[in-house]
Amino acid sequence: MTPSKEKNTRFTNLLREHNGLIYKVCYIYAEDSDHLNDLYQEVTANLWTGFDSFSGKSQISTWIYRVAINTCVSYIRRNARHSKSTALDENAFSVVDPGIERAEQLRQMYEMISLLGRLDKAIIMLWLDEYSYDEIASLTGLSRNNIATRIHRIKQRLANFETV
């Protein structure tokens, strides 16, 4: 197998394995399905570009998170029409995991997340995936204290849906 074919195969496998991760990040930043596809293709292109430079020092999922978040944030910044946070479509997240009685509550939480600022979206996504404050700080370039404060505020807002 030639090096370029081998790289293609490795990359395709990586995408297959981590498609969910890439898509869910894009989903949080997307306004509609067209925008979602644009973001997905943009993230994939950037992952391909940086694929050779991935050193393996961090986990592959962390690297994908970093590229996906940076790509989505820059893409939205570049495209002025997407600069405002917009609530996702009402049926954007079909919540099928937990009990039926919690589905509506989760949908509202996702809707609230979709209304957060670009950076807060990144922070809450990483926190939900159990990244430590230090890791989130390193990924976002903010201080640990700033991260802690932001997460506390977002959690408070999300906790309001407990009573819904």
Partner 1 sequence: MDHGLEDLKKHWKNLSSADGIDRLGIEAPTVSVGSKSIGNRRKLLRFYRVLTVISVLYIILAPGMLFPMGIFPTWALALLSIFFAAAAAMNIYMYSLIKAVNFSEMSTLDLLERVRTIYKVHIRQTIAGILIVIPILSMMLWYFYSDPSIFLGGVCGALVGALIGWRNNLRVIRYLREIESELASAYN
Q: Which of 60, 74, 86, 102 binds partner 1 (CB under 8 A)?
A: 102
Binding status of residue 129 toward partner 1 by CB under 8 A: yes
Binding status of residue 94 toward partner 1 by CB under 8 A: yes
Helices (H), the chain: 3-29, 33-50, 60-78, 100-114, 118-128, 133-140, 144-159
Q: Please, are residues 110 and 88 in contact by the beta-carbon 8 Å criterion?
A: yes
Binding status of residue 115 toward partner 1 by CB under 8 A: no
Instruction: Report in angstroms the alpha-carbon separations of 131 from 19, 47, 83, 97.
Output: 19, 21, 27, 22
* Greatest extent of the chain over all pairs of C-alpha atoms, in Å: 58
Q: Which of 69, 76, 109, 116 binds partner 1 (CB under 8 A)?
A: 109
Binding status of residue 54 toward partner 1 by CB under 8 A: no
CB of 84 to partner 1, least distance (A): 22
| Listed ranges 32-40, 52-60, 114-122, 134-142: which one lies at the site for partner 1 (CB under 8 A) | 32-40
